[in-house]
């Protein structure tokens, strides 16, 4: 316990993130804002500086200050040395250092190698009255958080998502689950997996992210009637997601190339990512590049405008070679909130949102032909798209409001009676 730090002012919670702000992690910003509005005093700790050139409007509403830890400790030797000099006298220093060295021997990586330096800086620069550390993602952010919690003699908790669950070694997940106070995760599939790794069945809880329906109001528009028969009015297919392996864009391009020649369509992709150049080359090889628009990363209002202009949403998720896969992609919820019929894959937690043939269409991951068949059927059947889009809209509105999840989290952080929500 840090004497004097938890009296005289409201306790703070440090949210430890891999990077902030990030366009692809608006769900985290939404959570932070909701908890601030319910009375939680937050400081954001980021392991990296932002790389996106844009931000969402929600980031401007968040009041929490941000501490950027040294992403490359060798570039800030004075800052790290000062933190080490102060940190070596802390009661938990030896235990935290020894744990880090043991972790490093078991699974060396650059991120793990620098994580102890980052935890020292976090412990040194943490504000007074800090009562808890909370990590978003169970891999590197949770490692830094765990070491810092030992240095500061503070409790810590975690929100787990997707890549961190499926690519972190089981031994590491078990140890972190045994050490933290509690963990929430955003899919039932993730909750079941993590619950098998701890004997404490109450330690892992399901909390869906959900959507803020003030930011995603229902669209005011008529039926999406384009059926691909008229060349001048092609059906608009939309996908929103980073160009990374687990999003399945290579498979999706192959499926698009298989569509019948008599169907007229255009495909719009929103998102950045390292595989964009390779995907563009692949589209050229398949001779479909003239039907594709690559918009890159976009602000939230532009994304919503594209949902409303599209006829069909598609996300061909798969399991990457390193085991990474999505949990429950928020973009599917966003698309359904706009009444847009969705096609995705029968993978991970996606069936928790899409019931095949009822609130959307699911196909096997990694298979071009079933995906192409599903797309062709929906392009040519506006009535079916309207039915699936309407059912998806109702399911999202009834079961995936972020208010419910925010109230659950408020209770976890000790806000027993959440304040009524007010827009900043």
Please state, in angstroms and rounded to a whole number, the distance separating the CA atoms of residues 96 and 76: 21
Q: Mean pLDDT over residues 246-273, rounded? A: 97
Mean pLDDT, the chain, as a whole number? 93
The reply to whether 12-210+401-412 and 235-399 are identical in fold is: yes
Domain boundaries, the chain: 12-210+401-412, 235-399
What is residue 9's predicted lDDT score, i.e. its pLDDT?
Answer: 56
Supply the CATH classification number for the domain 12-210+401-412.
Answer: 3.40.50.2000
The CATH architecture that domain 235-399 belongs to is 3-Layer(aba) Sandwich (3.40)
**Six-digit token string for 134:** 């909370």
pLDDT digits (tens, 9 = 90+) for 166-183: 999 999 999 999 999 999
Instruction: Give this prediction's pTM.
Output: 0.84
Residue 18 reports pLDDT greater than 60: yes
- Listed residue (186, 281, 300) closest to 243, CA to CA: 281
Residue 232: per-residue pLDDT: 96
């Amino acid at each position: 316990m840090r004497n004097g730090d938890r009296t005289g002012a409201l306790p703070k919670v440090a949210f430890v993130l891999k990077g902030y702000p990030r366009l692809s992690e608006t769900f985290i910003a939404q959570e932070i804002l909701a908890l601030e509005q319910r009375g939680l005093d937050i400081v954001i700790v980021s392991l990296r500086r932002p790389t996106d050139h844009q931000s969402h409007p929600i980031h401007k509403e968040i009041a929490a200050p941000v501490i950027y830890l040294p992403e490359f400790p060798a570039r800030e030797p004075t800052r790290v040395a000062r933190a080490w000099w102060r940190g070596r006298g802390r009661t938990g220093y030896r235990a935290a250092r020894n744990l880090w060295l043991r972790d490093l021997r078991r699974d060396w990586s650059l991120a793990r190698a620098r994580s102890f330096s980052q935890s020292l800086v976090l412990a040194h620069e943490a504000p007074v009255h800090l009562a808890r550390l909370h990590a978003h993602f169970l891999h590197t952010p949770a490692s830094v958080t765990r070491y810092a919690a030992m240095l500061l003699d503070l409790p810590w908790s975690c929100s787990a998502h997707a890549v961190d669950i499926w690519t972190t070694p089981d031994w590491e997940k078990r140890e972190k689950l045994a050490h933290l106070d509690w963990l929430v995760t955003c899919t039932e599939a993730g909750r079941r997996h993590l619950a098998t790794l701890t004997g404490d069945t109450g330690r892992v809880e399901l909390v869906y992210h959900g959507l803020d329906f003030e930011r995603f109001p229902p669209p005011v528009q008529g039926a999406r009637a384009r059926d691909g028969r008229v060349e001048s009015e092609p059906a608009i297919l939309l996908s929103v997601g980073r160009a990374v392996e687990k999003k399945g864009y290579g498979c999706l391009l192959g499926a698009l190339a298989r569509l019948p020649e008599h169907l007229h369509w255009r495909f719009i992709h929103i998102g950045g990512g390292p595989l964009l150049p390779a995907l563009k080359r692949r589209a050229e090889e398949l001779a479909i590049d003239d039907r594709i628009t690559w918009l890159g990363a976009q602000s939230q209002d532009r994304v919503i405008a594209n949902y409303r202009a599209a006829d069909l949403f598609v996300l061909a998720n798969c399991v990457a070679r390193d085991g990474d896969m999505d949990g429950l992609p928020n973009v599917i919820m966003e698309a359904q909130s706009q009444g847009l019929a969705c096609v995705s894959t029968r993978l991970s937690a996606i069936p928790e949102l899409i019931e095949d043939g009822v609130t959307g269409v699911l196909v096997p991951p990694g298979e071009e032909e079933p995906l192409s068949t599903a797309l062709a059927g929906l392009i040519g059947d506006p009535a079916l798209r309207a039915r699936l889009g309407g059912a998806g809209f109702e399911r999202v509105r009834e079961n995936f409001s972020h208010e419910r999840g925010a109230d659950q989290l408020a209770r976890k952080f000790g806000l027993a009676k959440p304040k009524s929500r007010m827009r900043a």
